[in-house]
Structure formats: C-alpha cells, structure tokens
C-alpha cells in the first residue's frame, strides 16, 4: 500500500473492514472529527450545482447523500451492503422531501460504469483515500465529467510530516480507543482507518496529481480545525477537443 496504489489483497481486506463499520459508522465518525464532519459535508452540499446530474463516488451508507436536497443524484459504491443501507436512508429522506429517487450503482472509481461526459459534478467524501489506484480513479472521473464539470474530494488532511504524525496519533489512540469500546472488540475494523491514513499522501501531492490527470484550477484547502482537506478541480471546457 502506498499513497497512489493499494494492492489487491490489502484493498479486499480494507473493503471487508469498511463493511464491518456500517453499524457504528456515523457514531464513530462524529467522535473522530469532534462533530465537524457534518459541517464539512454541508460545505460540499452548498457547492453542488442547482441543475444537472451529480455522482457521489464511495457513497458508503449514505451519510452525505441523504441530505442532498433537490438535485439529481447517482450514488456509487463497490460494497453491495453499503448500497443497500444507503438506498434505504436516501430513499426515505428523498420521498419525505418530494425529490426524485437517486440511482444506486455498484462499481469502483477506477472503472466507472458510465458513458463519457455524463455528470456535471462528482464528489467523493472520505473515500478517495481508499481507492486502490488513485490516478486511474481521477482519470475515470475526468472521463465521466462533462467539459467544465467539477470534482470535489474531502479526506483527512496531511500538510506535512509533523501534521501527519499528529493525525496518526489522533487516529490510533483517540479514535482507536473509542472504536474498541464501541465495537467491543480488540481487533476492530477502524484499525484500517489508521492504516489508510498512514499511507495517504499530503494535500499538495493530490493537488499535483489532479493537475497531472487533466484537471484545471485545482485547489487543496485544509479546513478548520485542520483535520480535513477539500480538493476542487475542473475539467477543461475544451476537453472534447483534446
Ligand atoms: C468511509 S466510506 C465514505 C462514506 C460517505 N461518502 C461519507 O461521506 O461518509 C468510504 C467508501 O468508499 C468506498 N470505496 C472504497 N474503495 C473504493 C473505490 N475504489 N471506488 C469507489 N468507492 C470505494 C467504500 O466501499 C466505502 O463505502
């Protein structure tokens, strides 16, 4: 596992562990981020376009998707159980609001099951870190975005070695101890959060990678209180003529 690639065996082990987090996913996430996760999700929701089609890659159990109001939405995840739970949550909220139903598709970022130029915006929250081939995923996202479309990524920040060390400490001891208590098991699935965080690169690394994979106006901003980065990039208007 490194900052670009997760090997097949590690990725399938990671996926098993992610599936095991479902019953306690929101509870531990809130604790791990001192409640900031809802604010970060709101920041992304405010940037969604009023019209057009949105794709969330790695929707998990629907924690972000359920509060996307009044927009056409497709949710993608490789884990069928994540999609099953997400559909129940998202359908319920969308029905209550009178929004059209979202679509739920099984797949991975690296092999998106969509035609070229389909989406106006792609967002991915706390999932990019888990993609097994980040460059391949970014190039697939670029392929399915329309010219001028936007990608937004949210994931734990790592500004530099010292910041990364503090983040590692936080996840291993603060989140790890809480997860062990909540999950009532020593070998709890949240240990993989620490593993993927250790191998995740810096904010700058992925800003550069997005530019190299053909996004423009790329920014990577560490947001308060320094636990997460929001990366944004646009597909060039001239995409289809390249
Ligand atoms: C921690 S959950 C994030 C859930 C949700 N987006 C949120 O805001 O909380 C990460 C999700 O990314 C998915 N994932 C992992 N590898 C992926 C890949 N290569 N392509 C797409 N999704 C992936 C996992 O299955 C998991 O459901």
Whole-prediction pTM value? 0.96
In the chain, where are the structural domains located? 8-12+34-159+201-237
State the distance from the centre of ligand 1 to the C-alpha of 242, rounded, in angstroms. Answer: 31
pLDDT tens, residue by residue, 90-114: 999 999 999 999 999 999 999 999 9
pLDDT of residue 230 exceeding 90, the answer is yes
Q: How far apart are CA 113 and CA 126, in angstroms?
A: 21
Determine whether the shortest distance from the Cβ of 192 to ligand 1 is under 6 A: no
Mean pLDDT of 50-59: 96
Determine whether the shortest distance from the Cβ of 126 to ligand 1 is under 6 A: yes
Note the pLDDT of residue 32.
86
Going across the sheet that includes 119-125, the strands are: 103-106, 72-77, 53-57, 119-125, 145-156, 228-234, 216-223
Note the pLDDT of residue 242.
67
Residue 77 pairs in a beta bridge with 106
Q: What percent of the chain has pLDDT over 70?
A: 99
Determine whether the shortest distance from the Cβ of 55 to ligand 1 is under 6 A: no
Residue 142: pLDDT band with limits 50, 70, 90: very high
Q: How far apart are CA 119 and CA 72, in angstroms?
A: 10
Least confident window among 49-53, 121-125, 172-176, 201-205: 172-176
State the distance from the centre of ligand 1 to the C-alpha of 11, rounded, in angstroms. Answer: 12
Measured between its terminal Cα atoms, the distance across the chain in Å is 33
User: Is 8-12+34-159+201-237 a domain of CATH 3.40.50.150?
Assistant: yes
Q: Which residue has the higher pLDDT, 165 or 143?
A: 143
């Amino acid at each position: 596992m490194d900052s670009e690639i997760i090997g097949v065996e590690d990725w399938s082990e990671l996926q098993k562990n992610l599936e095991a987090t479902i019953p306690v996913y929101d509870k531990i996430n809130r604790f791990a981020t001192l409640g900031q996760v809802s604010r970060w999700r709101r920041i992304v929701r405010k940037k969604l376009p009023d019209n057009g089609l949105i794709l969330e890659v790695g929707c998990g159990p629907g924690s972000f998707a359920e509060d996307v109001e009044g927009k056409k939405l497709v949710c993608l995840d490789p884990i069928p159980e994540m999609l099953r739970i997400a559909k129940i949550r998202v359908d319920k909220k969308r029905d209550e609001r009178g929004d059209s139903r979202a679509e739920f598709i099984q797949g991975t970022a690296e092999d998106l099951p969509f035609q070229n130029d389909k989406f106006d915006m792609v967002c991915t929250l706390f999932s990019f870190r888990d993609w097994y081939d980040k460059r391949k995923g970014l190039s697939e996202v670029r392929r399915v975005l329309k010219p001028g479309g936007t990608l937004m990524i949210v994931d734990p920040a790592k500004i530099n070695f010292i910041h990364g060390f503090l983040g590692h400490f936080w996840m291993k001891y603060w989140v790890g101890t809480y997860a062990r208590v909540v999950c009532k098991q020593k070998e709890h699935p949240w240990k993989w959060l620490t593993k993927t965080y250790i191998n995740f690169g810096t904010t700058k690394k992925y800003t550069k990678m997005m530019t190299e994979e053909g996004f423009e106006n790329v920014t990577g901003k560490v947001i308060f209180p320094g636990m997460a980065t929001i990366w944004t990039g646009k597909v060039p208007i001239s995409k289809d003529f390249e």
